[in-house]
Amino acid sequence: MQLKEEEEEEEEEEEEEEEEEEEEEEEEEEEEEEEEEEEEEEEEEEEEEVKLNHNKEENVKAEENAQEEEENAKEEEEEEEEEEEEEEEEEEEIIVN
């Protein structure tokens, strides 16, 4: 009788230990999955940041190019105005002479 009870107790203890081990393994797996998800999120955030920085750089370059084009257009306009003035002065000199 006692032997049976002892065996049953041992079996129960073993089952409890197995259940605890399984629970621990499940917890570890969940933790690993969470860590992997966090790493993936961090990588995605880093990629987004790189894209944003790249876009900012492109925007800055585009703005610089636009300013340069505007300056070039102004210079060209000024040069044309100067040429027109010179031509007018030359025509006036010709008319006066």
pLDDT score of 69? 98
> Where along the chain do its domains lie?
39-97
Q: What mean pLDDT is reported for the chain?
A: 93
Residues 23-57: tens digit of each pLDDT: 999 999 999 999 999 999 999 999 999 999 999 99
Q: Is 19 exposed, middle or buried (0-12, 13-18, 19+ CB in 10 A)?
A: exposed
State the average pLDDT over residues 74-97.
Answer: 89
**pLDDT on residue 4:** 77
- Global pTM reads 0.52
- From CA 4, how far away is CA 31, in angstroms rounded? 40
For residue 58, pLDDT beyond 80: yes
